[in-house]
Amino acid sequence: MTPPGHPLPDPGLLAALARGRTRVAQYMAFQLALQDRWNEETATDLLCQETAPRLQPIPFTRNQEALVGADWLWWFIDQPTGLCFGLLCQAKNLKKKGADWFIGVDQENKSYGRQMPNLLATADYFQVPAAYLLYCGTPAYRTGLGCTQHVPPDCVRCARSAVSVLSALAADYLYSSRPDDAASDAFRSALPLEDLADPDLPQELFDINLEVCGPELRQFLLDPQYRAPLAAKKIFEQLSRLRLGVFSRSAVAMESHRNSVLFRELPADSGHFSAPYFHHVLRGLRTEIPDYVTAALSGDVVSARVTTRAAGLVLVQM
């Protein structure tokens, strides 16, 4: 896909995300000095406060009976093209106990096992991918965890990683294949949130199913993307890389999907994930903003079918 509109990076959004991440990092550093823990809901509040108005949270106030209360449905709205990308985000803390790493409040597999199916089911309901929004503490806190692109002494990547994003399908795979190392693997597979909005970073992507993709989908994977399609591509890339790590191949069927998604014909390959990964991510990349987003933006009533399934919307104007 040739990027319509101007292909320049969006310094306003990038700067806002950096401000938000810096504020969350300060909060985590302060809390770590006090009591070795921080609250992920406070972190999300600070992130939204500091990135406003580029990130616009719209909380659902009538969701006392919420099925999934803590997950926010993010929509990246691509103003020049009208495209948009939805991502259901569950906030998680990266925690350390001795030399071991965990994700979540009481990271035992019990808690993980309960939450992941709910998260994926809600993502299916909204027809968007799911992700963990990972609050990862300070670089000093993460000593020993490793950074995949470390450049000392003041590693930019380490600083940016304070607020990271990981596809839930990737997290699900990491926990089911190597539970003991899952949290550290998850951190290494995650991307700084800012990377979703930074087209200057390398975008080359080789997917194991590239050869069966149609020309437009292939172009999306191979060419630089901007704004909402870039955010989608960055989430897809996490799964594509993990998929490449397991070389099992089978005949790949294509499957067709609904009208408002940008790519309707997608490889049906699930690899070792719990769902076909092309569809899981790219169903969130749409040619039209969903009705409930339009309603929320204009202050109209949002259907209870939506407000009982998420804490609210986070709109990212791009």
Residue positions counted in the chain: 318
Structure tokens at 32: 């770590």
Choices 23-31, 105-113, 157-165, 301-309 (CB under 5 A): range interacting with Zn ion: 157-165
Provide, rounded to whole angstroms, the least separation between the CB of residue 267 and Zn ion. Answer: 34
Please identify, using beta-carbon distances, which residue of 73 and 158 lies nearer to Zn ion. Answer: 158
The nearest distance, CB 316 to Zn ion, in angstroms, is 25
From residue 132 to residue 151, what is the string marking binding to Zn ion with x (rule CB under 5 A)? Answer: ---------------x--x-
Nearer to Zn ion by Cβ, of 147 and 174: the residue is 147
Which residues ranging from 227 to 246 are in contact with Zn ion (CB under 5 A)? Answer: none
CB of 191 to Zn ion, least distance (A): 13
Nearer to Zn ion, 147 or 232 (CB): 147
Q: Which of residues 20-79 bind Zn ion (CB under 5 A)?
A: none
Q: Nearest distance from residue 140's CB to Zn ion, in Å?
A: 12
Q: How far is the CB of 161 from Zn ion (least distance, A)?
A: 7
Nearer CB in complex with Zn ion: 157/218: 157
Rounded CA-CA distance 265/214 in Å is 8
Q: Which helix (H) or strand (E) segment is 51 a member of?
A: helix 40-51
Binder of Zn ion out of 158, 163, 168, 266 (CB under 5 A): 158
Residue 236 Cβ vs Zn ion, minimum distance, rounded to whole Å: 24
Backbone angles phi and psi of 42, in degrees to 5: -65, -40
How far apart CA 193 and CA 25 sit, in angstroms, is: 13
Q: Which range touches Zn ion (CB under 5 A), out of 26-34, 124-132, 156-164, 288-296? A: 156-164
- Which CB, 136 or 262, lies closer to Zn ion? 136
20/179 Cα distance (integer angstroms): 31
Tokens of 85: 């990308």
Nearest distance from C-beta of residue 158 to Zn ion, angstroms: 3
Q: What is the pairing mode between strands 312-317 and 71-77?
A: parallel
Please state the closest distance from residue 159 (CB atom) to Zn ion, in A. 8
Tell me whether residue 188 or residue 218 sits nearer to Zn ion (CB atom): 188
Q: Which long-range CB contacts under 8 A does 42-45 form with residues at least 24 apart?
A: 43/91, 43/93, 43/135, 43/163, 44/72, 44/91, 44/133
Does residue 157 belong to the site contacting Zn ion (CB under 5 A)? yes
Q: For Zn ion, which is the closer residue by CB, 189 or 225? A: 189
Strand partners, 254: 267
Residue of 14, 105, 155, 254 that binds Zn ion (CB under 5 A): 155
CB 122 within 8 A of CB 88: yes
**DSSP assignment letter at 195:** G
Q: Give the residue nearest to Zn ion (CB).
A: 147
CA–CA separation, 175 and 61 (whole Å):
33
Q: Which is nearer to Zn ion, 72 or 135 (CB)?
A: 135
Closest among 170, 266, 283, 285 to 227, alpha carbons compared: 285
Which residue, 281, 71, 263, 21, is CA-closest to 167? 281
* Contact in structure between 188 and 256 (CB atoms under 8 Å): no
Instruction: By CB under 5 A, name the binding residues for Zn ion.
Output: 147, 150, 155, 157-158
